[in-house]
Amino acid sequence: MFRALIIEDEKPAAEHLQRLISQAGTEIEVSIVIPSVDEAVAWLNKNMVPDLIFLDVQLSDGLSFEIFDHVDITCPVIFTTAYEEYAIKAFKFNGIDYLLKPVSINDLRHAVNRFISAGNIFSDLNIRDFRYRVDHVMKLLTNKYKSRFVVNVGLHLRTIETVNINLFYSLEKSTFILESTGKAYDINYSLDQVEKLVDPEKFFRISRKQIVNIKAVTDIISCSSSRLKLKISNSRDDDILVSRSRITEFRRWLER
């Protein structure tokens, strides 16, 4: 039995991956799920390196490649990613296994079989060369923003392209997205985390509770000299206001 570590900040994606590992009948046993770069570094510095790591590319506190700056990873890594095709090609070119979200059971089996078939070959590789390959991929992904979010739809998972999200908002201690179709879904991120993950050229945090997509703003109404009300496509909320403290910055953002 091989010990595996999952480093993934999206709870539904981590649970989905664990279910697939269990259903696939592989020789993989998940020891722990870790949601951030900092926690992963702390855990790996205190525990034995596992036999295999499933590693999400972008975590809530940064790119997961930062882990390699603090810990010598001497085991195979299977990356999970929702990035565009050029990044996937970079992984393949550099000999790094990957799973494209949402992960399918066939892709999982294929990646795990490659790991098992490799035996101890990986441990004999030059670690310096491995780190070079990781750094190369990291440079390709630097300054890239999250391209899609995973949501629960009943018993199923689906991904929603970030460009198709009109609004992120918080309600009763939960965070939701409003899709361009008008449907809303909850996500396992705080608005503070979302603000760091989306492109600031396209998304703006207008208040403590809302982040808007510039393409979804259909009207801007001046309620007074210090209040602006927004109309967001397919939103039923008629009270989307820009915070007084953010109005000046919001105007500058509109003029970019």
CB atoms within 10 A of CB 112: 23
Mean pLDDT, contiguous 10-residue spans, the chain (256 residues): 92 92 87 94 92 88 81 83 60 63 88 75 52 60 74 83 95 92 91 88 95 96 84 92 92 88
Tell me which H or E stretch contains 113: helix 105-118
Q: Which domains does the chain possess?
A: 2-141 (3.40.50.2300), 148-254 (2.40.50.1020)
Q: Model pTM?
A: 0.58
Nearest partner of 175 among 4, 32, 11, judged by Cα: 11
